[in-house]
Amino acid sequence: MTWNHRVIRRKYENGEEYFAIHEVYYNKDGKPNMVTTLPITIVEESVDDLAITIDLIRKCLDKPVLDYDKDFPDV
């Protein structure tokens, strides 16, 4: 199973949208099939590790936004 960070669109109860970065997991066909319930937090053991993680997270902004309710209806 592979994973990466992705921007996820969610909605408040009043219908307003908000966006957050989550970990998304993929099935063997490469389709997203699981997402973390809560957005990620960034905690690392060094500033260098923090920079590496931030660079990896930055790449998710170049991918299409996923919709929490539509793309992960079973969550």
Q: pTM value?
A: 0.88
Number of domains in the chain: 1
How far CA 15 is from CA of 9, 22, 25, 44, 70, in Å, comes to 12, 20, 26, 35, 14
What is the distance of C-alpha 72 from the center of its chain? 12
- Does a structural domain hold residue 74? no
Range of the domain at 48: 2-69
Query: Tens digits of per-residue pLDDT, 14-70?
Result: 999 999 999 999 999 999 999 999 999 999 999 999 999 999 999 999 999 999 999
In a domain, 26, yes or no: yes
23 found inside a domain? yes
In a domain, residue 35? The reply is yes
Strand pairing of 2-11 and 17-26? antiparallel
Q: Quick check: is 75 in a domain?
A: no
Residue 50 within a domain: yes
4 beta partners: 24
Judge whether 67 and 49 are in contact, CB under 8 Å: no
Confirm if 69 and 10 have CB atoms less than 8 A apart. yes
